[in-house]
Structures are given as structure tokens and as C-alpha cells.
């Protein structure tokens, strides 16, 4: 099951409906996951790392600056954390998280919605994704959007790679994250030919 395709971000350009935000974090295996949800349980930002501090900091920094203070810390994990771990482990999800409306540009909305459509076990390139959202030649802007993705794993930015089919960097952290990206893809069934992804695993959005 390709979990992210089960929901959309059609309301991503709306306004935040709740100011009561809850930060939860938990460790599963060797990975720390962090998530911020609103009082209705809708996901607003998330991240993961080998460090709790890094996961939480990355999650909080994805929020608009006026929402970063006064977060309520959850006493434990959350259903969202469990679903993030399932995606990370290549298992898919049982209950796709509901995503809260986000105030982003029209370009980012289109990019993130298209990225959600990339099937598990497949990848596409920054250039193909740019063309698919009507911005041919904007592959660098797509790369920047992936690096700033506030919902990694949910919006599967790890499935977007270079035109050479080399995986490239992953997120804003450079050190060691390319290996993380490769491992994520391999768990999802993506095949590699040395340092490049097999052409058979490339998804064309057209």
C-alpha cells in the first residue's frame, strides 16, 4: 500500500485553524521521530533523526515562526509517530495521518501534491516533477522545496532524485543523509545499479 496516495494536501494553502499545538517524540528502533499536531490531531510538521534533539528542532523549525513558541509537549508518542515509523521501515501505513492546512505558495502546494503521487518502489527526478507541475526548468526550485519539506516521509521527498538517477542529498542535513535516502528507497523496493537507480524504477508523472 502506498500510504501517501491515500490523502491529499488540497487544503495546504489554507490557514491554520488551531493555535493549540502538541509536540510529541518517541524512539523506535534506532530512530527518533517528532511530530507537531494541532488540537484536532492533524499533522502540521514532522521529522526523524538518530537524535531526539535534532528531530524535534527540525520539526519545530518547519513551523511558521509565530507558532514555534508555547508548544505543549505530549507525555508519550502518538499515532502519527507510529505511522511515520511504519513508512520509514518500508511497511506502509495503517491510518494515513490527516494533514492540517498549511500556508504555502501555490508552487509548493503543487510540488508537494505531485510528490505524494509517486508510488512506493518508484522515484522521479527533480526535472520531471518540475515539468509535471507546469514549471519546466525549475528543477532547482523543486530541489529546494524538497529540502524544506515540513512533512518528510508523509510527503515522500526521498523519492525525488537527480536526473542522473543518483540519489543526491536528503533534507537540509548533508552528512550521512544520502545513505539514509538510499536505505529508505531500498526498503521500499527500489533497485540500484551501483550508485544509480535502475531505470525500471523511474515513475513518469505524465
Catalytic residues: 157
Indicate if the alpha-carbon torsion angle 61, 68, 111, 123 is positive or negative.
positive
Residue of 34, 42, 51 whose CA lies nearest to 15: 42
| Bridge partners of residue 106, in order along the sequence | none
C-alpha separations of 50 from 25, 31, 139, 176 in Å: 12, 5, 29, 11
| Bridge partners of residue 85, in order along the sequence | none
* Environment class of 126 (CB within 10 Å of its CB; exposed 0-12, middle 13-18, buried 19+): buried
DSSP label at residue 31: E
**Residue 145, Cα to own-chain centre: how many angstroms?**
11
Amino acid at each position: 500500500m502506498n500510504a501517501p496516495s491515500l490523502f491529499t494536501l488540497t487544503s495546504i494553502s489554507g490557514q491554520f485553524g488551531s493555535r493549540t499545538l502538541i509536540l510529541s517524540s518517541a524512539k523506535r528502533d534506532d530512530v527518533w521521530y517528532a511530530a507537531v499536531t494541532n488540537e484536532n490531531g492533524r499533522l502540521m510538521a514532522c521529522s526523524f533523526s538518530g537524535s531526539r534533539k535534532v528531530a524535534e528542532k527540525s520539526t519545530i523549525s518547519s513551523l511558521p515562526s509565530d507558532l514555534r513558541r508555547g508548544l505543549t509537549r505530549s507525555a508519550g508518542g502518538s499515532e502519527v509517530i507510529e505511522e511515520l515509523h511504519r513508512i520509514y521501515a518500508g511497511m506502509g501505513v495503517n491510518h494515513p495521518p490527516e494533514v492540517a492546512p498549511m500556508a504555502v505558495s501555490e508552487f509548493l502546494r503543487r510540488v508537494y501534491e505531485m510528490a505524494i503521487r509517486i508510488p512506493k518502489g518508484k522515484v522521479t527526478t527533480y526535472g520531471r516533477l518540475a515539468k509535471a507541475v507546469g514549471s519546466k526548468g525549475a528543477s532547482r526550485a523543486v530541489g529546494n522545496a524538497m529540502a524544506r519539506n515540513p512533512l518528510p516521509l508523509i510527503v515522500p521527498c526521498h523519492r525525488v532524485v537527480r536526473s542522473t538517477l543518483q540519489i543526491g542529498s536528503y533534507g537540509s542535513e548533508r552528512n550521512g543523509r544520502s545513505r539514509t535516502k538510499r536505505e529508505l528507497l531500498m526498503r521500499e523496493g527500489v533497485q540500484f545499479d551501483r550508485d544509480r537507480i535502475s531505470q525500471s524504477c523511474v515513475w513518469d508523472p505524465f
